[in-house]
A and B are shown apart, each in its own frame.
Chain A
Amino acid sequence: MNKVVTINLNGNACQLEEQGYDALRAYLDTAAARLESNPDKAEIMSDLEQAIAEKCRRHVGPHKNVVTAAEIQRIITEMGPVNGDEGDERTGPATERRSEGPSQRAGATRRLYQIREGAMISGVCNGLAAYFNIDVTLVRVAFVFLAIVTSGGWVLAYILMMFIVPEAYSSEERAAAHGQPFNAQQLVDRAKHHYAEFRESSNQWQEKWRRSREARRERRAARAMAVQPQPPQSQGTASYATRVFAGFMVPVFTLLSAILFVALIIALISLFKTGAVFHWSLPHDVPIWLAIIIFILVYQAISTPLRAASRASYEASAGSRYGWLAAADGLMWLAFAALLFWLAYLLIPEVRWLIHSTFEWKHLVWGWPS
């Protein structure tokens, strides 16, 4: 259900969905701004409004009298950007206009879009590739790599971009995604719109995040105060026992998280290579990318509480030396992961086969020297 706005387009009444109205308003404002120094501005504007009204009329009928936001978007696309310079650089007024709007004429400014055509998931990578003018495969590889390195955290970034980055659903927008000129006004409008939409939720998050950070800092400061003046021996036996237990649990948690990570990597490689994970093959209707995302999400779901528990353990056992222990733990994690890979390679024949065939495959693709 959407609010409907009635507007007057050059004497024609037209009912639009509110979002469509905003888009149309932005389009016409941009057009008016570009035609600012054109002596026929008023006439061109009414011609444009008339053309839009005629297009709107095509979208309404006896049983439908409101033009939807999507239809307005299509109409705007059909209309195309209004050329302030009249499509001709030689004319006099164009030179005046150049000084007034340098940002509009600065050349190939691009916009970031999601491009659905040829997309694997939502077209975020596709859009980024168009934006930076690089091969989409490279972007995808970078995304998968980042997703693994951040142990799935990057997947969240992707999902965020799916929501924030607008989708290029018209040829006009696709052109903009590849780097043809656009007007700054539209970008600002879109940004404002998104900003208003997300301000609410992000405020809440920021607040929550800030509060939890403050609480953590206070706790740490309080602990430092409590620990520093007294030598550790003077602490009670119960707290000593807790610390010993926590100290013991740190490597256990780290080991568990390394095992998980290695399992994830092997599962992903196996998924890529064979479409199955250790004799468990995917159901037919689940595409491989979905399986990969599910794997990463599951991994994230298990490893996040694990990491939180492990962090709690350091804090309990190390107190103010937390930072050093975290660094040592990072190294320990790496060592565990390497050890586990090596063990898996030695002990599990399937893994050995996978790794061998992966490298052979790479050899074929990249022409690596053997």
Chain B
Amino acid sequence: MAIDEKFNSIRKGLLEFLILRIIAADKVYVADMLERLSRTEFATQEGTLYPLLSKMRREDLLDYEWRESDAGPPRKYYKLTAKGRTQLAELNRYWKQINTTVDDLGQPT
């Protein structure tokens, strides 16, 4: 089993968190998100991203606005809602906690 397969479910589970982080940093549209993720271990595709974004929007974590683009029709630019920002802060905290736990468990007691 390849190393990345061992973390398959973790990577999948982290995707939502990472999208919140990306959107929090800057207003982006889907191609930007895919581009940023494509260079990482979390590379994903439209087929996964669009349904996930729509779910997150339904949960009121993010919203989008239409913006004109110079190359073709207007695009959806995503941004976080207030609830999304709160959730991101919680997730960030939780993620740090997990990292600390992982580090601690590797130390001799």
Contacts and interface: CB of A to CB of B under 8 A. Distances in A.
A79 B54 contact: no
Interface of B: 12-13, 15-16, 30-31, 44-48, 50-52, 54-55, 57-58, 72-73, 76
Most chain A CB within 10 A, of B30, B31, B54, B58, is at B54
Given A54-B72, A57-B72, A48 B46 contact: yes
Interface string A38-54: 11100110011011001
Contact of A47 (B30, B45, B48): B30
Interface string A19-46: 0000000000001000100111001100
Contact of A82 (B51, B55, B57): B51
Interface string A67-85: 0000000000011111110
Contacts of A54: 31, 72
Interface of A: 11-12, 31, 35, 38-40, 43-44, 47-48, 50-51, 54, 57, 78-84, 86-88, 91
Contacts of B72: 12, 54, 57
Contacts of A84: 51
Consensus secondary structure, chain B interface? helix
A313 B26 CA distance: 85
B45 A43 contact: no
A342 B90 CA distance: 81
Nearest to A34: B51
Contact of B76 (A47, A82, A87): A47
A81 B44 CA distance: 10
B44 A80 contact: yes
B50 A51 contact: yes
Nearest to A30: B47
Contacts of B54: 38, 40, 43-44, 47, 86
